[in-house]
Structure 1
Amino acid sequence: MTEDEAKAILSARVSRETFTRLELYAGLLIKWQKTINLVSPATLPQLWARHMLDSAQVIDHAPQDAKTWLDLGSGGGFPGLVCAAIAAESHPGLKIDLVEADLRKAAFLRETARQMGLSVGVFSRRIEDLPPQSADVISARALAPLVTLCGYAHRHLSDTGVALFQKGARHAEELETARQGWQMDVTVIPSVTDAEAVLFRIEDLTDV
């Protein structure tokens, strides 16, 4: 998928105001990338396809009535900040918090959210040190093995919460490993940007 194709898909699914916010975000990320490693440098030429559109698909699978969302290991803001930009119109009233222990990346997230006009929270601390959040939605992308993410989700999800975890080509192996320690209802959703990747939608997560 080309950058123009990814932009066209996004611009067709969101309002002009939201797309302008995403363009501002992309510009700020490219600027800050010069001093902070927000994304892999090799992926920067495919920013819209590899990161923006890939993140945008996540919000399609969040409950419409969700009130709180916790994005773990946000890094450069994927998928949390992209989802927050879209949610400002599609999920009014949804509060999104980003968790990023790296202080420089957390500063980027705060400043970018401010310039985008988004009301998001940023926790600049380790996930393990964060008090339980009882979130309706938890997301993570390129953060940790699924078995580790299940531990994070179990701590921070509400009883009826949904976890949305993006995984790559080894997703089946990761799911098999995670099931050895966790019981869960899993929906495996093919990625719209990568034929080998999926989105795990996890509910009813309990330890074995």
Structure 2
Amino acid sequence: MSDHDYPAHFTEERFFNVSGVSRETMENIRKYANLLVKWQKQINLVSDSTLPDLWTRHVYDSFQLKQHFDADRIGKLTILDIGSGAGFPGLLLSMCRIGDFHMVESNNKKCAFMRQVIRETQCQATIHNERAEKLSSFPVDYIISRACASLDKLFDLSRNFISDDTICLFLKGQIAEQEIAEARQNWDFQVEKFTSATEETGMILKVSHIKALSVVK
């Protein structure tokens, strides 16, 4: 593993220097991180083993998606985050003023946590406390997700939101290629693959032109 490409540990200071976010944005992200550590003592928001490396495993891992949004439309985009959990990546990205984020999470306690983060940071995000497949559709520009479901399942969960122009950005692990192959049995799509900036075996999938095949029920 290259120390340059895959730093073993992102500190808060290193994240600020590398990300280039404003001091105001950094203060909001710091509030988010502190709330996560506080709430984690009471409810399981993320894996306990990842907390010592929070700034790499969750903060920068989510932040790296920022460069994959249409730069000309930053601030005007509508983004759907499927299976938001503790708010990664959508809530983190909402603090960077990319657009209007819709966080979809069925767990009541995790939604309560995200609402607390939104109150304290004033980030532009709406919480939908329900299952993605039950959510009434509305136009979105991007669909994002992290550590939620397989690619095939993600397409199925978000099918009501997928249009001809919708782009999906999914953070995936080492079986990404397998997930792509399995999804192609039910869906036609174009995919660009980018190596994760935080994990050598990780991958970002940028998926577009998504169409369900007739075999999908």
TM above 0.5, yes or no, is: yes
Corresponding residue for residue 61 of structure 2: 54
Residue correspondences, number: 202
TM-score where L is the length of structure 2: 0.89
1:118 positional shift: 1.1
Aligned ranges 1:129-144 → 2 under 5 Å = 129-144=134-149
| Distance (Å, rounded) in 1 between the aligned partners of 2:119 and 2:167 | 27
| Distance (Å, rounded) in 1 between the aligned partners of 2:61 and 2:194 | 13
Flag structure 1 segments of 5+ consecutive residues without an equivalent. none
| Distance (Å, rounded) in 2 between the aligned partners of 1:162 and 1:207 | 15
Aligned ranges 1:1-208 → 2 under 5 Å = 1-4=8-11, 7-12=13-18, 13-64=20-71, 65=73, 67-86=77-96, 88=97, 91=98, 94-208=99-213
Q: Deviations over 1:125-151 (max 9, x none)?
A: 011110123210110000001110112
| Distance (Å, rounded) in 2 between the aligned partners of 1:153 and 1:59 | 21
Secondary structure of 2:88 counterpart = coil
| Distance (Å, rounded) in 2 between the aligned partners of 1:10 and 1:185 | 34
Flag structure 2 segments of 5+ consecutive residues without an equivalent. 1-7
Distance 1:205 1:7, change over 3 A: farther
| Distance (Å, rounded) in 2 between the aligned partners of 1:99 and 1:74 | 6
Corresponding residue for residue 3 of structure 2: none
Secondary structure of 1:135 counterpart = coil
Distance 1:151 1:3, change over 3 A: same
1:157 positional shift: 2.7
Give the number of the structure whose residues are more often helix, by fraction. 1
- Displacement over 6 Å in runs of 4+: none
1:36 positional shift: 1.0
Moved more, 63-72 or 102-111: 63-72
Q: Deviations over 1:178-204 (max 9, x none)?
A: 111111110001100000010000000
Secondary structure of 2:165 counterpart = strand
Q: Deviations over 1:91-138 (max 9, x none)?
A: 3xx211101111111011011111012131000001111012321011
Corresponding residue for residue 5 of structure 2: none
Secondary structure of 1:36 counterpart = coil
TM-score where L is the length of structure 1: 0.93
Amino acid at match of 1:113: I
Secondary structure of 2:164 counterpart = strand
1:7 positional shift: 4.2
